[in-house]
Copies of this chain bind each other. A is one copy, B any other.
């Protein structure tokens, strides 16, 4: 199939900005007759066709944004949704949401449901299971603006808002080392997620920096993400290694399971073993001992994602440049370290 000629192609050919091309094609009064002529001639020559679907959407805007998140129950995602709504409602957009329940199949269905609801754009954090992205590619090709946040797919040409997971993890491990930890377990997230990879890399690189040998047996995958799971695995690793003095959880739920396992074993936190999480969920401040963690600024992430999406929705066709926004993390020291 021959590639579809876009406004960007015309702009490149003529060395004129895409927004000028777009306005020339629409006979905008600000554009000179001469420019209009040149642009239209080239458009005809190259068989440029405006993206009808995208134009159609723009002509019958619903002022609704669709959001797909893995699970509402995660405090982090709820906070992101609040950030999204904060910007969206202020700018006159409604927000409707679907949860993928961490399954690929539901994510595909949700994408269709939101498309059928004629949303103007989508904000998506992909499910743990998702490893192929045709359901998003299709809509992006149709001209629907989609911005990915937190859990993103680098294969897709779309804007992203992510947390600096690598640096956040690095700082978390450095914090444990600064408190004297020498044998640090990492309760890691699902393999296919970028965030898991980045956090694992932050853990590895920090150990290296402090000349602590990386031991792959100390990386324990917790794909389910429940505290029961990480409690079980922490229990096993404590029974097979008697010199563990630190645990870095890929999220607060994992860290919580570690706390429960360590307490059950009668070991003292933080004296004998120090624990740090990632996310700063509400419960981290309510459990005992209160969890040291890496705060992700979910509200700010939601605001950024919504702002970028609305800019893309309201941009002239062909003038969108995708952005990658990185939100920095903050270490919050409490009682577990």
Q: Residue A78 at the B interface, CB < 8 A? A: yes
Which of A9-17, A107-115, A328-336 forms part of the interface with chain B?
A: A107-115
Copies of this chain present in the complex amount to: 2
1/0 per residue A90-109: CB within 8 Å of B? 00001111110100001001
B73 touching A96 by the CB < 8 A rule?
no
A50-93 with Cβ < 8 A to chain B: 62, 64, 66, 71-73, 75, 78, 81-82, 85, 89
When the two chains form their complex, are residues B85 and A101 in contact, meaning their CB atoms are under 8 A apart?
A: yes
- A283 interfacial by beta-carbon distance below 8 Å: yes
Instruction: Say whether A116 contacts B287, CB under 8 Å.
Output: no
> Across the two chains, which residue of chain B brings its CB closest to A98?
B96
A225 to chain B, nearest CB (A): 13
Q: Which residue of B lies closest to A119 (CB)?
A: B117
Residues of B with C-beta under 8 A to A89? 106, 109
Q: How many angstroms from the CA of A282 to the CA of B228 in the assembled complex?
A: 12
Q: How far is the CA of A328 from the CA of B110 in the complex (A)?
A: 32
**Size band of the A side of the interface?**
35 or more
Q: Which of A278-320 contact B (CB under 8 A)?
A: 282-283, 286-288
C-alpha gap A101/B84 in the complex (Å)? 13
Residues of B within 8 A of A118 (CB): 117
Question: Chain B's nearest CB lies how many Å from the CB of A286?
Answer: 6
Contact of A116 among B64, B71, B227, B286 (CB under 8 A): B64
A214 to B75, CA, bound (A): 38
Residues in B neighbouring A96, C-beta threshold 8 A = 66, 96-98, 113-114, 117
Give chain B residues whose Cβ lies under 8 Å from the Cβ of A78.
71-73
Q: Which residues of B contact A288 (CB under 8 A)?
A: 287-288
Q: Does A177 contact B (CB under 8 A)?
A: no
Q: Is A147 an interface residue (CB 8 A)?
A: no
The answer, yes or no, to whether A206 is at the interface (CB within 8 Å) is: no
Given B82, B99, B227, which contacts A85 in the complex, CB threshold below 8 Å?
A: B99
Contact A81 B94 (CB under 8 A): no
Residues of B within 8 A of A163 (CB): none
Bound: A117/B256 CA distance, A: 40
Q: Determine the chain B residues whose CB is within 8 A of the CB of A72 once the complex forms.
A: 72-73, 78, 81, 97
Contact A113 B64 (CB under 8 A): yes
Contact with B along A163-188 (1 / 0, CB 8 A): 00000000000000000000000000
* Smallest beta-carbon distance A97→chain B, Å: 5
Q: Min CB distance, A127 to chain B, in Å?
A: 14
Give the residue name and chain of the B residue nearest to A95 (CB): B98
- Structural contact, A117 and B64, CB atoms closer than 8 A: yes
A-B pairs, 4 with minimum CB distance: A94-B113, A117-B117, A72-B72, A73-B78
6 residue pairs bridging A and B, Cβ less than 8 Å apart: A64-B113, A73-B78, A89-B109, A94-B109, A95-B98, A288-B288
Chain A residues close to B by CB (< 8 Å): 62, 64, 66, 71-73, 75, 78, 81-82, 85, 89, 94-99, 101, 106, 109-110, 112-114, 116-118, 227, 256, 282-283, 286-288
Q: 5 new A-B pairs (CB below 8 Å) besides A72-B73, A89-B106?
A: A72-B81, A73-B78, A94-B109, A95-B98, A283-B287
